[in-house]
Amino acid sequence: MPLKKVLSIFFISISFYTVFAAEPTVNYKLYGFVRNDFYINSRQNVEALDGLFNIFPKPVDLNGSGEDKNAVPNAEMLSVATRLGLDFTGTTLLGAKSSAKIECDFAGISTSYYLIRIRQAYMKLNWENTELLVGQTWHPMFGNVMPAVPSLNTGSPFQPFNRSPQIRLKQALGEKFSLIAAAAYQMQYMSQGPNGTSASYLKNALLPNLYVGFENKSNNWTTGIGFDTKTIKINHEKLTSTSATAYTQFVQKAVQIKAKVIYGENLSDHLMIGGYGVSGTNSTTNEPTYSNLNTLSSWLNVVYGSKVQIGIFTGISQNLGANLELRSGSTGKYTIYGYGFYSESQQLVDRLFRIAPHVSYNLSNFKLAAEYELTSAQYGNIQSNGRVSNSYSVNNHRFMATISYLF
């Protein structure tokens, strides 16, 4: 081999060795839990993960004998909420501390349970006053204030529930205040429309889901507000939705008091009631035009204790109707895309209420919890203003027990 080539390989090898030897080793920490859940419901519900993720009770649906097909209790035990995660810390990049997270469970997708599912996967850079996150994690509407409950639904559908790919910037504006800005897309939690639940509506609109918020955080208090907007494209029609949230949290030793209020349009991608409906026809394209449905939701969560905890969650969600008059089709039926509407019976959720007390026993590597959850849904026949008439209520009584080994 020519000397010149040997020397070239040698110097290239030395260069690679010098670069990588100078870099600190990336450190990682494994975390997670093995979790088993048992639940029993008094009736059928809108749900996910084979009922493990409970949302709200289904309406009355009479069969030929006049019996309610949804008034059927059910029970199940599952281990798919078992979780694994890795937190990484490593080299300094661009003068910032770098870190990353990979987190998964075994909940699968759609009806394919027991498969590994990605929950979070992001990298993060932290400067003295600035934090930049790139990847999939909790949507900013989920936020830093969320209910402390044993149930996997974490207060859904009263609490926004969404993990999305995003670019998020957090900028300190002093010792306590910070600005949060994010641009997010959809993957697992998606908008609904004529083609079913899909990320294509946001994708085809080109613009990401945009969020901006302000947060004040001290030793015991976290308080913030946020504003969110997204534009989806259904065929050739675009629909822009806006939402706002305000939240507060007090935590001191064994006491936790948390609350949040959300006003929003078309929040079905956050597993909340509402969506949008057909309101007219575009005279140029002859395609349907759409109007948002508005939802007001709030919740309060109080927890006391450390080793033994007792707590209660209460939530209420109200449909506020459509921005524009909805148009019924040639069959006299309205078309709505979102959670809480049943096309065949033309029934729509107008109000939801939940009260859920719980108790838990906590050790460093072990948690045992039980929760009773009463969720009441008020249904009625949809009207052109997006509200309902001839309303009635259905209730689901749910008991849930969970046991976890944490590591």
Residues 6+ positions from 30 with CB-CB distance below 8 Å:
84, 85, 86, 407
Q: What is the pLDDT of residues 16-39, one digit of tens each?
A: 444 444 455 789 999 999 999 999
Joined tokens for residue 274: 């509402």
User: Are 182 and 166 a contacting pair, CB within 8 Å?
Assistant: yes
pLDDT of residue 110: 61
User: Residue 154: helix, strand or coil by DSSP?
Assistant: coil
Let me know if residue 2 belongs to a domain. no
Mean pLDDT of 280-299: 95
Joined tokens for residue 95: 């003068």
pLDDT for 335 beyond 70: yes
For residue 333, the enclosing domain spans 23-406
Per-residue pLDDT band at 113 (split at 50, 70, 90): low
Let me know if residue 397 belongs to a domain. yes
User: Are 37 and 68 a contacting pair, CB within 8 Å?
Assistant: no
Let me know if residue 15 belongs to a domain. no
User: Residue 6: helix, strand or coil by DSSP?
Assistant: helix
Let me know if residue 18 belongs to a domain. no
User: Are 388 and 382 a contacting pair, CB within 8 Å?
Assistant: yes
pTM: 0.89
Range in 34-38, 103-107, 163-167 with the lowest mean pLDDT: 103-107
User: What whole-number percentage of the chain has pLDDT above 70?
Assistant: 93
Q: What is the pLDDT of residues 212-235, one digit of tens each?
A: 999 999 999 999 999 999 999 999
pLDDT of residue 2: 55
- Maximum C-alpha span of the chain: 93
Let me know if residue 346 belongs to a domain. yes
pLDDT for 363 beyond 70: yes
| CA dist., res. 134 & res. 183, Å (int) | 10
Per-residue pLDDT band at 111 (split at 50, 70, 90): low
pLDDT of residue 18: 44
pLDDT for 331 beyond 70: yes
Let me know if residue 84 belongs to a domain. yes
User: Are 348 and 382 a contacting pair, CB within 8 Å?
Assistant: yes
Dihedrals phi, psi of 205, to nearest 5 degrees: -80, -10
Establish whether the linkage from the previous residue to 73 is cis, with ω within 30° of 0: no
pLDDT of residue 24: 59
Q: How many helices (H) and strands (E) does the chain have?
A: 2, 22
Q: What is the pLDDT of residues 132-160, one digit of tens each?
A: 999 999 999 999 999 999 999 999 999 99
Let me know if residue 13 belongs to a domain. no
User: Residue 202: helix, strand or coil by DSSP?
Assistant: helix
User: Are 239 and 232 a contacting pair, CB within 8 Å?
Assistant: yes
Joined tokens for residue 121: 């996967």
Q: What is the pLDDT of residues 173-216, one digit of tens each?
A: 989 999 999 999 999 999 999 999 999 999 999 999 999 999 99
pLDDT for 97 beyond 60: yes
> Which of 87 and 113 is assigned the larger pLDDT?
87
Mean pLDDT of 58-79: 94
Q: Write down the mean pLDDT value for the chain.
A: 93
Report how many domains make up the chain.
1
Q: What is the pLDDT of residues 312-321, one digit of tens each?
A: 999 999 999 9
Cβ-based burial of 272 (10 A; exposed 0-12, middle 13-18, buried ≥19): buried
Q: Residue type for 251, please?
A: V
DSSP code for 270: G
Residues 6+ positions from 128 with CB-CB distance below 8 Å:
none
pLDDT of residue 303: 98
CATH at residue 187: 2.40.160.10
User: Are 77 and 37 a contacting pair, CB within 8 Å?
Assistant: yes
DSSP code for 268: G
Let me know if residue 9 belongs to a domain. no
| CA dist., res. 69 & res. 116, Å (int) | 33
pLDDT of residue 9: 47
User: What whole-number percentage of the chain has pLDDT above 90?
Assistant: 87
pLDDT of residue 19: 44
Give the count of beta carbons closer than 10 Å to the beta carbon of residue 169: 15
Q: What is the pLDDT of residues 364-389, one digit of tens each?
A: 999 999 999 999 999 999 999 999 99
pLDDT for 53 beyond 90: yes
Q: What is the DSSP code string of 111-141?
A: TBTTS-EEEEEEEEEE-SSEEEEEEEEE-TT
